[in-house]
Structure 1
Amino acid sequence: MSQIAGVTGTDELIEILRRQRADFLREGPPSAAVRRDRIDRLLAMVLDNIDEFVEAMSRDFGTRSRTGTLFAEIMGMLTAFEHTRSHTARWMRPVTANRLARLCGIGTEVHPTPLGVVGIIGPWNFPLQLVVVPAASAFAAGNRVMIKMSEITAHTAELTRTLAARYFDPVELAVVTGGPEVGAAFTRLPLDHLFFTGSTGVGRLVGRAAAENLVPVTLELGGKNPVVVAPDADLDRAARRIAHARMVNGGQVCVCPDYVFVPEDRVERFVDILRAELRTMFPAIVADPDYTASVDTANYDRVLALVEDARARGARVESLAPDGEDLPDPVARKIAPTLIRDIDDDMLIASEEVFGPVLSIRTYADLDEVADHVNARSAPLVAYWFGPDRADFRRFVARTRSGGVARNEFAIHMFSENAPFGGVGHSGMGAYHGKTGFDTFTHRRTVAGTNLPFAITGRAAPPFDARTAKLIDLALRAARLRTRRRVGGRVAVG
């Protein structure tokens, strides 16, 4: 199989799209066997080349451990692939829409049909998983796929492009690389669906560009994810789990905790436990191969700028650098775990997603003020709660808005393959995972027909007789009386 080489211009992208769409239209919706085969080859591309992917991501990040990559990047996709391939045949079956109408001679089915060519734009924080998992969903739905890899993780991007040539014909899957200009051209393609994972700012640009061609989009974005430590939470367990959650991939995860609300009378104890846990986790940082570095200098500088802005505006900033280590280190691009307190809304860190090993800590006296704080800001991708499942937790869930809610565990809302994952508002648009992913890349096409010897809708065309007018009047009168009974005296009727 051949693969189109590195892409640098709009003409090349348009040609890939033209070839994929032409082949899709010629072949028609693929069988379940073909869809499963594409999913299997996609997973094989990853599993056959694990060492190469681990090495590429280590080079891209500077420091990213093998175990960390395998756990967060590779292991996380295995159940997703297995669940999707095992359900593909069931999901693609037509569904009878109205069984009662069939008894009257009208047959109506809803056919899950492929959209055509799906474009996927990947991020740099999980540069492999966050393109192949949506690609598997798109394949299950019967589509062809074009992937634009992140230029920030260039080694992973080039490896993926090269390996795709060995496993796929480019009319099935095309992987393209290149800088921001290629990404911008990709968003302007007349695709059948565009799936983007990345920042809210770039997501706005993607949505705007796709709208020019009326391309539907799924935007998996981010946001400032709040954490609430309930008044009756197990403080030791909460602090330790929050510490670990903040440090996954060096804090460079869209579902990482961003800031924590702790009861006023428990905050000092909480910070003591948090500090001790982080120091235990990282007795050394610069030479620790498990401590993920900032992906590049730009992100390293951006995180430090947020910290320094907070410090300059009066925040208490505590760097948990090990004794004898000079951190932050611009060569290793490593920033020590950092705790920030006394934050006010004038500080940049109060509104900008951190995406680094920095955790802000706030206090509260009443849980309603926590909900008010969350509601006054853009909806986060996930809201965390540490504490029992009691009335105050249910009230918090009911009062706030977020892509998902996780209680007592990092990202547990993503564990079930039957549950959708996605944001709301500024944290995203649309969702995927499992059946939801299949549906995202599917058009539900209604197919109806009848063999009745008379026309059912013939009375809709003129000329209209008195009998038709009378039937309409009777139907409307019945509907009006029925509705008035339901609304009672709540609506004034003239």
Structure 2
Amino acid sequence: MHSIAYTVEDMQEQFSHLQALSRSQPINDWVTRLTQLENIEMMLSDNQANFAQAISEDFGHRSESETQFAELFPSFTGISHAKKYGKKWMKAHRAPISALYMPAHNEIQPQPLGVVGIMVPWNYPLFLAVGPLIDALTAGNRVMIKMSEAAPQFAQTFADAIARYFSSDMVCVVLGEVDIAVGFSELPFDHLLYTGSTAVGRKVMAAAAPNLTPVTLELGGKSPVIVLDDANLESVVNRVMMGKTLNAGQTCIAPDYVLIPRQYHVQFINLAKEWVEKHYPNIESNPDYSRIINGEQFKRVKGYLDALSSDEVHELTAVESSIETRLMPPVIVSEPAPDSEVMQNEIFAPILPLVHYESLDDAIQFVNARPRPLALYVFGDNHTGIEKVRNNTVSGGLCINEVIMHVAQHDLPFGGVGDSGTGAYHGKAGFERLSHMKPIFVQSKLNGLNMLLPPYGGLFKKAMALFLK
């Protein structure tokens, strides 16, 4: 059977084939799983340049170095982590048991779910396909992947590569437009993992609901930065601007806005200008600076800026944005109105609002009055202030004196909460998310439970009197 489905009928046929295999031939051995991980590793190693070129073609230009740093590097380290620990994760292991039931014992046995569906976004189409694929294959599943129609060059390149390195009995890539994506989300997967916008995430969950398909939704939202009044501002600007300009801001955990004490406002803007000049000189021709993915996205974010007054917009370079090349230089927005589009919507571009706060309580209240973010970043040295933010906010993930790097920690689960998503994966968390962690109770030949059978006599009543105090 062909490994790439182009029609709804092809897709449904391939799913049925994989589902039948998953029921008749479950992948319970480590050797098969390890082989699949090594296949991913070989595919990435052999196709690095092709993948980076295809992504760049989709973006109009995407820095090859960014593809290496933000997509290939975490993919390779994720594979290494799974190869190191996967055999241990898949073993049945003892679980605690109450003394009341001894000498019986409890076990937990991880089992493959069956067929996992992965819906990939366009912003990091390699890592956000490979990352979930690693977890799914380590857990012993068969996989169908729907690539984003907004990154067609990479989607085709990736699909062709998958077909060379994997049997279609193991991994299938699906290409197609929105109708294919809708049909994909309606398939009765054993688990469906979607990465993308909150609005589409709601539709994916609704489509999966009739099949009772469990879903992991990795969404987005507005990830805030809280700058404490003792923070080293040069360090803050260095890390925040790195996170905001990476992939031209098209990152689901990019710093979306900065809550900052008023006295640091002007200094932050000046330091940001110096930072951009240092790290992206001649930005219009700089190979390290990426473009906005397409004209539709460019017009959307340019509209956010056009709706603001000139006093609010602080350009960090002398270069103007260009719809023809989809170049959008970094911009800081000063104190935008809370109901402005730039403060209501996830920006997904190198536009950084600065919002003043008077007290740390005000900053925390500002964050908590809005939907739960996928990530939250706090900068400062004051332990009390950091702990206050840490304990009084809820976010998918938290970085202290850093941005974005938590996504590359394979020993940490990655996921959202509330509007920013449901469920988490990566590493062991991903293995368990895409496994059935089957509970097993093993009774001993010698046990006292027969004494608690009817007719309920005096011994039973004494036992209940003891246990129900």
- TM-score in same-fold range (> 0.5): yes
Q: Structure 1 residues 242 and 7, CA, compared in 2 at 3 Å: closer, same or farther? A: same
Q: Residue 424 of structure 2: SS of its match in structure 1?
A: coil
Structure 2 residue 357 is matched with structure 1 residue 364 = yes
Distance in 1 (alpha carbons) for counterparts of 2:293 and 2:271: 29
The answer (yes or no) to whether the contact 1:109–1:447 under 8 Å persists in 2 is yes
Cα shift at 1:261 = 1.4
2:419: which partner in 1?
426
Report matched runs for 1:24-423 at 5 Å: 24-98=22-96, 104-311=102-309, 316-322=312-318, 325=319, 327-388=320-381, 390-423=383-416
Q: Structure 1 residues 466 and 204, CA, compared in 2 at 3 Å: closer, same or farther? A: same
Q: Deviations over 1:230-269 (max 9, x none)?
A: 1111112212222222100000001111111121122111
Cα shift at 1:376 = 0.1
Structure label with greater radius of gyration: 1
Q: Specify the code of the residue in structure 2 equivalent to 1:188.
A: E
The answer (yes or no) to whether the contact 1:264–1:363 under 8 Å persists in 2 is yes
Q: Deviations over 1:148-170 (max 9, x none)?
A: 00110001111111111111111
Distance in 2 (alpha carbons) for counterparts of 1:270 and 1:105: 65
Which structure 1 segments of 5+ residues have no match? 479-494
Q: Structure 1 residues 471 and 408, CA, compared in 2 at 3 Å: closer, same or farther? A: closer
Distance in 1 (alpha carbons) for counterparts of 2:135 and 2:72: 17
Aligned positions, number: 469
| Percent pairwise identity | 35
Deviates more, 1:93-102 or 1:180-189: 93-102
The answer (yes or no) to whether the contact 2:113–2:434 under 8 Å persists in 1 is yes
The answer (yes or no) to whether the contact 1:315–1:342 under 8 Å persists in 2 is no
Q: Specify the code of the residue in structure 2 equivalent to 1:164.
A: I
The answer (yes or no) to whether the contact 1:117–1:145 under 8 Å persists in 2 is yes
Q: Specify the code of the residue in structure 2 equivalent to 1:472.
A: M
The answer (yes or no) to whether the contact 2:192–2:213 under 8 Å persists in 1 is yes
Distance in 2 (alpha carbons) for counterparts of 1:319 and 1:63: 22
1:3: which partner in 2?
2
Q: Residue 212 of structure 1: SS of its match in structure 2?
A: helix
Structure 2 residue 435 is matched with structure 1 residue 436 = no
Q: Structure 1 residues 303 and 456, CA, compared in 2 at 3 Å: closer, same or farther? A: same
Q: Residue 111 of structure 2: SS of its match in structure 1?
A: strand
Distance in 2 (alpha carbons) for counterparts of 1:454 and 1:220: 47
Cα shift at 1:218 = 0.6
Q: Specify the code of the residue in structure 1 equivalent to 2:14.
A: I
Q: Structure 1 residues 282 and 100, CA, compared in 2 at 3 Å: closer, same or farther? A: closer
Give the TM-score taking structure 2 as reference length: 0.95
Q: Structure 1 residues 395 and 275, CA, compared in 2 at 3 Å: closer, same or farther? A: same
Tell me the C-alpha RMSD between the 2 structures.
2.0
The answer (yes or no) to whether the contact 1:220–1:428 under 8 Å persists in 2 is yes
Cα shift at 1:121 = 0.3
Cα shift at 1:342 = 2.4
1:468: which partner in 2?
460
Q: Structure 1 residues 131 and 458, CA, compared in 2 at 3 Å: closer, same or farther? A: farther
Distance in 1 (alpha carbons) for counterparts of 2:295 and 2:269: 29
The answer (yes or no) to whether the contact 1:403–1:423 under 8 Å persists in 2 is yes
Q: Structure 1 residues 458 and 141, CA, compared in 2 at 3 Å: closer, same or farther? A: farther
Q: Residue 211 of structure 2: SS of its match in structure 1?
A: coil
Q: Residue 440 of structure 2: SS of its match in structure 1?
A: strand
Distance in 1 (alpha carbons) for counterparts of 2:88 and 2:343: 46
Which structure 2 segments of 5+ residues have no match? none
1:488: which partner in 2?
none
